[in-house]
Amino acid sequence: MSRNIAQTSFVLLCSYILWRLLRNFLVRSTLSNIPGPPKGSWWKGNFAQLYNNTCWPFHSEILQKYGTLIKTYGFFGDEYLYVSDPRALHHILVKDQVIFAKSRTFLLQAVVCFGEGLLGTEGIKLRIQRKLLNPVFSMRHMRGLLPVLTPVAHQMRDVLKRKVEKGEEDIDVQSCVSRAALEYIGQGGLGYSFDALDESKTNNYSDSLKMVTTFILPLLTYRQMLPYLMWIPRIVRRKFMEWSPFPGFQRIRKVVDTIHMASIQVYMNKKEGLARGDDAIVQQIGKGKDIISILMRANMATDDKTRLPESEVIAQMNTFTIAAHDTATSATCRVFHQLALDPKAQARLRQEILQAYKDNGNEDLDYDTLMSLPYLDGIVRETLRVFPPIPFNLRITNKNVVLPLLWPIKGKDGNEISEVFVKKGTTVVVGIQAANRNKAIWGEDAEIWKPERWLSPLPQSVADAHLPGIYASMMTFLAGGRSCIGFKFAEMEIKLSVSTVLSTFEIAPSPTEEIEWHMRLAQVPTIKGSSDPAPHLPLKVSLVKQ
Ligand code: HEM
């Protein structure tokens, strides 16, 4: 019996692969005239070149050679359109965002792991959630949130201080930044402390949150099956996961269960606090100013039609933590790495920060002061522009559509192409980093990290390009109805960490280790030449000389 099942599965798999390969010859491509690199492999296309630890040279090479609209290949001859043309990006992410959708497998994976939060919903449900959530992330709320996050920054500073009190040390700054990022989103997002900066404590909830993306990666192939499995009742799917002998399934099931149970517990505590009134809420971590408390109050005040069910509020808690942690860690680490490499920029920034503290009577800076420090702002913007933590993003067309271009390209036949017919089912690679580093937009020095560019007016070409990004004319936080809802939180967190650390410490490159940035779900720093895949950012840290 089991032999028959195995044989049938094998035949079905071979037929599927054969059909996918034959389809390329039988069905006429609408992208045949778009230039691009040859396939790197007959079955993986360019996928392994586009997406591997050190994929940066391949991206630079094809962008330089083929420009802002490139045809690349995915698995079994699937055609991918790699786009960084500003007008095309506007259509993909804003005007025709309903057609250029997230893949079904991506959405279902988010639902299975974290529930129906922003990462897992689409259509009307997404619009309802965004309508309620957008104001929760407003500048007014960020202003109230900064005093909740500041003690976390102090804790991070104290952890570092203990390590260097006897003198200069080589420290893995990534570990400290990552734990602080978890604590920021814990206290500021959930109104909950993971005790992430207390090295003597362990916390199953935070351990599971940290592991979940790592455990998902090896299951990427299996997730393709999710659309075909969702009709099976949840209880049966669950039993299958429980009985499955495959360790990868067991690992993910355990962390997802832990996350789910812990978030319900946090939610219930908040609910109880809200029911007991304002006095009880201010006693809680977050003092009622954290994102989930604000969301719960907004949800209670809204009408029945737009009120989110409890399960969706709980799902947002895990969604925010997952979406915030790796990205903000990546960005903050990148700022520290760049400052270590550029001592002049570091000294100039420290001077600006120390002056701001002095002007404020050596008290913690309030939101408006922190956000308006010009050089700090330039450093953060420039780092997010040149090194976006998520350098590209995928969408899939659910309809045939015409994509217009701002900059026409020359087709393989030598004719000019100013719009492209894109068939239903085409994968589109949204070139975030490609657009952020485009020389026609940012100037000849577009690829160079140069914070000073933000201190004077940007070239007219930036305004003329009309990149649709929601932040500083760049694509780092994307655009449209699925753009990053937490970008103001991220900006505040990075500035808070950088100003706190730089006012106390000097940082320099490690004398023994070289850093190499790897592509994962977000970019991560690793030690060049090391077999250890875990993120590390070893830097020489010492107390600022008075
Ligand atoms: C530097 C840090 C960050 C970067 C670069 C970043 C970037 C992004 C990008 C590119 C997306 C779109 C992803 C996609 O469509 O697949 C996104 C979505 C999202 N981000 Fe961020 N993010 C950052 C920090 C944060 C923070 C701190 C939060 C929460 C407090 C957050 C919450 C979210 C959520 C909930 C989504 C999904 C939005 C939706 O689909 O409607 N992000 N982010």
Give the pLDDT score at 5.
Answer: 59
Distance of alpha carbon 401 from alpha carbon 408, whole angstroms:
17
Residues 6+ apart with CB under 8 A from 259: 113, 114, 205, 208, 209, 212, 318
Give the atom of ligand 1 at the shortest distance from the alpha carbon of 388. Answer: 5
What element of type H or E holds 397? strand 392-397
- Is residue 518 within 8 A of residue 526, CB to CB? The reply is yes
Q: How far is the CA of 477 from the centre of ligand 1 (A)?
A: 6
Mean pLDDT for 13-38 is 81
- Protein residue whose Cα sits closest to atom 21 of ligand 1: 484
Give the atom of ligand 1 at the shortest distance from the alpha carbon of 493. Answer: 27
pLDDT band for position 171 (cuts 50, 70, 90): very high
CA Rg, the chain, in Å?
24
3-state secondary structure of 85: coil
Distance of alpha carbon 7 from alpha carbon 13, whole angstroms:
10
Distance of alpha carbon 31 from alpha carbon 41, whole angstroms:
19
Q: Which range (12-26, 201-215, 307-321) has the least confidence?
A: 12-26
Q: Tell me the residue ranges of DSSP E strands in 168-315.
A: 169-172
Mean pLDDT for 97-114 is 93
- Is residue 66 within 8 A of residue 84, CB to CB? The reply is no
Q: How far is the CA of 432 from the centre of ligand 1 (A)?
A: 13
361-376 pLDDT per residue, tens: 999 999 999 999 999 9
Mean pLDDT for 433-446 is 98
Q: How many CB atoms lie within 10 A of CB 362?
A: 9
| Ligand 1 neighbourhood includes 486 CB (under 6 angstroms) | yes
More confident residue, 436 or 27: 436
pLDDT band for position 452 (cuts 50, 70, 90): very high
Give the dihedral sign, CA 97/98/100/103. positive
Mean pLDDT for 397-401 is 97
Q: With CA atoms as reference, report the closest residue to 314 among 262, 383, 387.
A: 262
Give the pLDDT score at 235.
Answer: 86
Which residue type is seen at 520?
R
Mean pLDDT for 114-124 is 95
> Which of 133, 484, 489, 519 is the pocket-test mutation for ligand 1 (most atoms within 8 Å of CB)?
484
Mean pLDDT for 490-516 is 98
| Residue 271 clears pLDDT 80, i.e. is over it | yes
- Tokens 């006897």 correspond to what residue? 166
| Residue 170 clears pLDDT 60, i.e. is over it | yes
Q: How far is the CA of 394 from the centre of ligand 1 (A)?
A: 14
Q: Which range (10-24, 90-104, 464-478) has the least confidence?
A: 10-24
Distance of alpha carbon 17 from alpha carbon 19, whole angstroms:
5
| Residue 243 clears pLDDT 60, i.e. is over it | yes
| Ligand 1 neighbourhood includes 515 CB (under 6 angstroms) | no
Which residue type is seen at 542?
S
> To the nearest whole percent, how much of the chain has pLDDT over 70?
98
Q: With CA atoms as reference, report the closest residue to 408 among 72, 69, 95.
A: 69
pLDDT band for position 120 (cuts 50, 70, 90): very high
- Tokens 């455990």 correspond to what residue? 215
Give the atom of ligand 1 at the shortest distance from the alpha carbon of 117. Answer: 35
Taking phi over 0 as left and psi of -120 to 50 as alpha, with beta for the rest, 514 belongs to beta
| Residue 1 clears pLDDT 60, i.e. is over it | no
Domain boundaries, the chain: 129-387+481-543
At CA 199, angle to CA 194 and CA 203, rounded to 5? 35
The fold of 129-387+481-543 is Cytochrome p450 (1.10.630)
What is the biggest distance separating any 2 CA atoms in the chain, rounded to whole angstroms? 79
More confident residue, 75 or 162: 162
pLDDT band for position 161 (cuts 50, 70, 90): very high
pLDDT band for position 122 (cuts 50, 70, 90): very high
Q: Which range (21-25, 73-77, 500-504) has the least confidence?
A: 21-25
Give the pLDDT score at 7.
Answer: 75
- 55 assigned to a ligand binding site: no
Identify the bridge partners of residue 79 per DSSP, sorted by sequence position: 73
Give the pLDDT score at 218.
Answer: 78
Which residue type is seen at 439?
K
Q: How far is the CA of 322 from the centre of ligand 1 (A)?
A: 9
| Ligand 1 neighbourhood includes 189 CB (under 6 angstroms) | yes
| Residue 9 clears pLDDT 70, i.e. is over it | no
42-72 pLDDT per residue, tens: 888 999 999 999 999 999 999 999 999 999 9
Give the atom of ligand 1 at the shortest distance from the alpha carbon of 494. Answer: 1
231-240 pLDDT per residue, tens: 888 888 888 8
pLDDT band for position 2 (cuts 50, 70, 90): low
| Residue 352 clears pLDDT 70, i.e. is over it | yes
Q: With CA atoms as reference, report the closest residue to 83 among 69, 97, 72.
A: 69
Mean pLDDT for 473-489 is 98
| Ligand 1 neighbourhood includes 294 CB (under 6 angstroms) | no
> Which of 327, 392, 520 is the pocket-test mutation for ligand 1 (most atoms within 8 Å of CB)?
327
Q: How far is CA 488 from CA 137, 262, 299, 340, 466, in A?
A: 7, 26, 21, 25, 21
What is the rounded average pLDDT for all residues in the chain? 93
Give the pLDDT score at 6.
Answer: 59
| Ligand 1 neighbourhood includes 323 CB (under 6 angstroms) | yes
Give the pLDDT score at 244.
Answer: 86
How are strands ordered across the β-sheet holding 505-509? Answer: 169-172, 538-543, 505-509
More confident residue, 138 or 75: 138
pLDDT band for position 326 (cuts 50, 70, 90): very high
